[in-house]
Amino acid sequence: MQNHTVLFVDDEVNILKALQRLLRNEPIDVLTANSPSEAFELIERAGPQVIVSDQRMPEMSGVDFLSSVRDRHSDVVRMMLTGYTDMTIAVEAINKGEIYRLITKPWNDEELKATLRQAFDHYDLKAEIKRLNSVTREQNFKLQDMNKNLEEKVRERTKQLDGKNTELRTAYIQTIRALAEAIDAKDAYTRGHSERVAVYASRIARGMNLRKELIERVYFAGLLHDVGKIGIPDAIITKPDRLNEAEYEEIKRHPEIGAKILEPVEFLRSVVPCVRHHHEWYDGCQHGYPDRLAGDQIPLPSRVIVVADTVEAMTSDRPYRKALPIDIVVKEMHKYSGTQFDPVVVDAFLKLLEDEGDAFISKDQKFDIYAFIEG
């Protein structure tokens, strides 16, 4: 810690001498000045922490002097030495915050020493607070800097990750599409079925205002809903005639097989139940399979897919019939709304049909699910 220095300012030399004598044995450097102008010089040169000024001086009043010290050296602790006659002015000066303490003339030696010690303590404390504040401020700046750097790094990483994710996602979609195409290709009549079901289903999902992840799930589940057909003998899948009961039972295994195939794929975990339940009936009757779930027990994407699946199948050529016109599809939807189909999904589909007409049944295979969701 720096030496404690006090500067006394008084036009009376005797007073200055008395003060010097008083503090001779104290661990304080004592400076004296006869006038404010001399005092300013000393302040610049010696940097006292405490200044004690007389009030009545010919050149300038003590209050004025100390207030200009405050303006130029705000850290310096200012005190006034004053006779009783100057008390009003001095008290006012204290109240205005110009000075720290008042010492009355004639002073009590011990009191004066104690007051000086307090003044130095006051100075040291303020200096310490100032130092701590500046350390804190500096650390804050450093922290802010670090934060900024971190944020930038995180942003950059996120961007890289986003890029990687998009790449991965695209790769996945391609794989899934290839898989779906492979299933559909087993039968010339169902070529493109899965992709169209995915597109119809996600359109309906968007019409229902489902949230983004759900629309995405509907799309993937739509693409993959019949993936289990890969495990069904080709002879059954491509059989042009009506299936017998045993063959039908065999076909009915495809949702379960599909779910088994997809289960190990982390990325498709949420799609698995949607695939498993895409042939349940909304009313839970025995036509539904594999678990005869009803209503809300059936995953929402499955309820959307079953409508899209039916619409796609009806509007496509089959070996035993041509594609059916849309009004037949509408009739079928009305007929089975509430039994096979979730009425909410049927309504959403009919609303889309009303808005888009035949254009809804589009055979256009170019479809970007993410552009679609964002759009």
Nearer of residues 29 and 291 to Fe ion, judged by Cβ:
291
Is residue 331 part of the annotated active site? The answer reads no
Considering the complex, state which of residue 195 and residue 226 has its C-beta at the smaller distance from Fe ion: 226
Query: Edge to edge, what strands does the sheet with 77-82 contain?
Result: 29-33, 5-9, 50-54, 77-82, 101-104
- What is the closest distance, in whole angstroms, from the C-beta atom of residue 200 to Fe ion in the complex? 11
CB 275, CB 225: distance < 8 Å: yes
Binding residues (CB under 5 A) for Fe ion: these are: 226, 309
Helix axes of 343-356 and 193-207: crossing angle, nearest 10 degrees: 100
Q: Which of 272, 237, 243 has its CA nearest to residue 255?
A: 272
CA 266: distance to chain centroid?
26
Taking the complex as a whole, how short is the minimal distance between the CB of residue 217 and Fe ion, in angstroms? Answer: 17
The CB-of-361 to Fe ion minimum distance in angstroms stands at 15
For residue 278, give the nearest of 262, 302, 297 by alpha carbon.
302
Q: How far is the CB of 367 from Fe ion (least distance, A)?
A: 17
For Fe ion, give the closer residue by CB, 52 or 227. Answer: 227
Residue with smaller CB distance to Fe ion, 9 or 180: 180
Nearer to Fe ion, 98 or 226 (CB): 226
| List 229, 252, 260, 366, catalytic entry | 229
- Nearer residue to Fe ion within complex by CB, 45 or 242: 242
Closest separation between CB of residue 253 and Fe ion, Å? 11
Q: Report, in Å, the least distance between residue 168 CB and Fe ion.
A: 27
- Residues serving a catalytic function are 229
